[in-house]
Amino acid sequence: MKKTADLKKFYQYAFPMKAALLTTIDKNSKTNIITVAWHTPISKNPPLFGVSVAPSRFSHDLIKNSKEFVINFAPYDIVKNIHFCGTHSGRNTDKQKETNLSFVDSKIVKPKSILECFSHLECKLNNIITIGDHSLVVGEVVNLTYSEGIFKDDVIDISKTKPCFYLGNKVYSDISKNKISF
């Protein structure tokens, strides 16, 4: 017998979602990092990537002002940093300092890319549309970098990238049975 679900938690039924780290900068070029799970490619030509960001996030203001961001696809190895960046705000925490991540210059946009991540979509803001209680932040992908050897015959090798899946309720998993609960 199927159960009727609580509509407020409809999004749980879309889990797992891949955790990514979005980097932006403030007016002094200081980096901020926000963890995002609600993201998706939305157009191939032009290359557009969408991220759902709540207007209350500090990153929402930074993206609106700087008009640039990087989507860093994150491996399970850095799950503690992923959780940290998703539970602390750049309004009162210097996440670049507090994490042990390495930041490298991006090729085209000003926000840095995260070395420990296996691919980086450098985006220029194309549109930002507030829908319900989130904004769909649409970025045009203007450059892309990735770790060598993660593709085999043009297919991504998840045994190399080891993506980090978010299952909700502070629970994360890699592609095996390993799981971590904070």
Ligand X SMILES: Cc1cc2nc3c(=O)[nH]c(=O)nc-3n(C[C@H](O)[C@H](O)[C@H](O)COP(=O)(O)O)c2cc1C
Residues within the interface to ligand X (CB under 6 A):
19, 32, 34-38, 52-54, 57-59, 83, 86-91, 166
Number of other CB atoms surrounding residue 94 within 10 Å: 12
Q: In angstroms, rounded to a whole number, what is the distance separating the alpha carbons of residues 135 and 48? A: 15
Cβ distance to ligand X smaller for residue 38 or 151: 38
Cβ distance to ligand X smaller for residue 36 or 101: 36
Contacts of 131 (CB under 8 A, 6+ apart): none
Q: In angstroms, rounded to a whole number, what is the distance separating the alpha carbons of residues 111 and 140? A: 14
Q: In angstroms, rounded to a whole number, what is the distance separating the alpha carbons of residues 10 and 87? A: 21
Query: How far is residue 144 CA from its own chain's centroid?
Result: 15
The residue with its CB nearest to ligand X is 86
Number of other CB atoms surrounding residue 27 within 10 Å: 8
Cβ distance to ligand X smaller for residue 2 or 27: 27
Cβ distance to ligand X smaller for residue 74 or 109: 74
- CA nearest to 74, candidates 8, 20, 34, 115: 20
User: Residue 149 corresponds to which tokens in the numbers above?
Assistant: 């050897």
**Shortest distance, CB of residue 153 to ligand X, whole angstroms?**
31
**Shortest distance, CB of residue 43 to ligand X, whole angstroms?**
19
**Shortest distance, CB of residue 123 to ligand X, whole angstroms?**
15
**Shortest distance, CB of residue 77 to ligand X, whole angstroms?**
15
Q: In angstroms, rounded to a whole number, what is the distance separating the alpha carbons of residues 22 and 90? A: 12
Cβ distance to ligand X smaller for residue 19 or 25: 19
**Shortest distance, CB of residue 170 to ligand X, whole angstroms?**
7
